[in-house]
């Protein structure tokens, strides 16, 4: 940030548009977290771009006082890729839902991650198609009763973390919509990451899939069912901070600190920058009731980005090329004169 540039505030990023999400929708909390996080990145407001596809999440660009594009279904990643390559200095954010990103947009999603584009992807995962009135989505739990699966869906759901890590993803984090503080902290790290960052927010749809994440978000038992990961810190959780995760052979195991000789120093320490994705995949796949659900930044690894590699390649080709001007180009092949 330039010395004479005033720091942005959350208010600076709020547009004058009326927010048209349902009352109680988790999207309101995600919007608040984004507007709190962006000022911490030291980026000028005119360098932010928000790009979306179709769905409830796709209204996001209207509510940000930044540049934005409301695209078409599943194509936000393609539009964003072109935006970033043509202007690598922009901070580009993709706002997408579980249906928009993982169904019609699934192919763009995995290849954007594989290329390690310098993009920030936020997945609003409410496990339902909300805008089109309650059809089951790629992340709906098996057996979910919806308008398009009245007897329960027979399909196994996608798990975004598996897709990201399996696509050679370098940054994956997860939060819940009712923890704005955690989401804000995660988004700051995502915005600072050089490459593709994917943040899955477990979000509630009060109309078509209410309380879909309640088993881990309700105040009564969230402390025992959420493991909030922090790099360099032991994986401890529970209301009394007396539970932890250890590696037992090739599996993760829950232990009680102070019982059976287990000490705090026996608990696994989270290393989000570990290049080998094995532990990260295991953490991302932990699910209730057998495990707490892992929240926070699960994976954060550095690697060359697509747009940087393209720019370097262009420089190398230009340095070796005999063509320096348009005249050189016109005269570079077989030429002839017309008399």
DSSP string, 54-87: SSGGGGGGGGBSSEEEE--TT-HHHHHHHHHHH-
Q: For residue range 236-284, what is the model confidence (pLDDT) as tens digits?
A: 999 999 999 999 999 999 999 999 999 999 999 999 999 999 999 999 9
Which pLDDT value is given to residue 158?
93
Which pLDDT value is given to residue 331?
84
pTM for this entry:
0.93
Which residue(s) pair with 247 in the sheet?
Answer: 252
Which pLDDT value is given to residue 329?
86
Decide: residue 100, CB within 10 A, 0-12 exposed, 13-18 middle, 19+ buried: buried
Which residue(s) pair with 52 in the sheet?
Answer: 70, 95
> Residues 176, 180, 181, 187: what is their CA dihedral angle, to the nearest 10 degrees?
80
Which pLDDT value is given to residue 24?
94
Residue spans of the domains in the chain: they are 11-233+270-307
Which residue(s) pair with 237 in the sheet?
Answer: 243
Q: Residue 13, Cα to own-chain centre: how many angstroms?
A: 20
Which pLDDT value is given to residue 208?
95
Which pLDDT value is given to residue 268?
97
Residue ranges in the chain whose pLDDT is less than 70: 1-4
Ramachandran angles phi, psi of 76, nearest 5°:
-60, -35
CA distance 311 to 154: 46
129 to 3, 93, 137: CA distances (angstroms):
45, 21, 6
Contact residues for 205 (Cβ-Cβ < 8 A; gap 6+): 25, 26, 56, 126, 128, 130, 212
Are residues 256 and 243 in contact, defined by beta-carbon separation less than 8 angstroms? yes
Total Cβ atoms within 10 A of residue 3? 4
Are residues 7 and 40 in contact, defined by beta-carbon separation less than 8 angstroms? no
Which pLDDT value is given to residue 328?
87
> What is the distance between the terminal CA atoms of the chain, rounded to a whole angstrom?
60
**CATH code 3.40.50.970 for 11-233+270-307:** yes
DSSP label at residue 149? B
H-only helix segments in the chain: 27-37, 76-86, 98-99, 106-115, 160-166, 180-192, 214-217, 222-225, 278-284, 306-320, 326-330
């Amino acid at each position: 940030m330039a010395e004479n540039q005033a720091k942005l505030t959350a208010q600076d990023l709020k547009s004058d548009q009326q927010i048209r999400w349902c009352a109680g929708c988790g999207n309101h909390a995600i919007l608040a977290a984004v507007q709190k996080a962006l000022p911490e990145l030291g980026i000028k407001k005119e360098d932010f771009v928000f790009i979306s596809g179709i769905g409830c999440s796709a209204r996001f660009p209207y509510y940000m006082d930044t540049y934005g594009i409301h695209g078409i279904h599943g194509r936000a990643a393609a539009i964003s890729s072109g935006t970033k390559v043509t202007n690598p200095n922009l901070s580009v954010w993709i706002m997408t839902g579980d249906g928009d990103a993982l169904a019609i947009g699934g192919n763009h999603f995995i290849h954007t991650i594989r290329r390690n584009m310098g993009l920030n992807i936020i997945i609003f995962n409410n496990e339902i198609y909300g805008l089109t009135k309650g059809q089951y989505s790629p992340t709906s739990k098996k057996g979910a009763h919806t308008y398009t699966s009245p007897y329960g869906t027979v399909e196994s759901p996608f798990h975004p973390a598996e897709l990201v890590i399996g696509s050679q993803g370098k940054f994956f984090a997860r939060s819940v919509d009712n923890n704005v503080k955690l989401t804000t902290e995660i988004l700051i790290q995502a915005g600072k990451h050089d490459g593709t960052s994917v943040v899955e927010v477990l979000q509630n749809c009060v109309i078509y899939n209410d309380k879909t994440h309640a088993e881990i978000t309700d105040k009564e038992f969230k402390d025992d069912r959420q493991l909030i990961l922090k790099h360099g810190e032991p994986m401890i959780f529970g209301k009394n901070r007396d539970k932890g995760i250890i590696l037992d052979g090739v599996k993760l195991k829950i232990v009680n600190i102070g019982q059976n000789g287990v000490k705090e120093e026996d608990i696994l320490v989270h290393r989000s920058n570990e290049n080998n994705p094995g532990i990260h995949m295991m953490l991302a796949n932990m699910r209730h009731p057998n495990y707490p659900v892992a929240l926070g930044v699960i994976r954060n690894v550095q690697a060359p980005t697509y747009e940087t590699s393209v720019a370097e390649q262009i420089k190398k080709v230009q340095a070796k090329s005999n063509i320096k001007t348009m005249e050189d180009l016109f005269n570079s092949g077989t030429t002839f004169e017309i008399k």
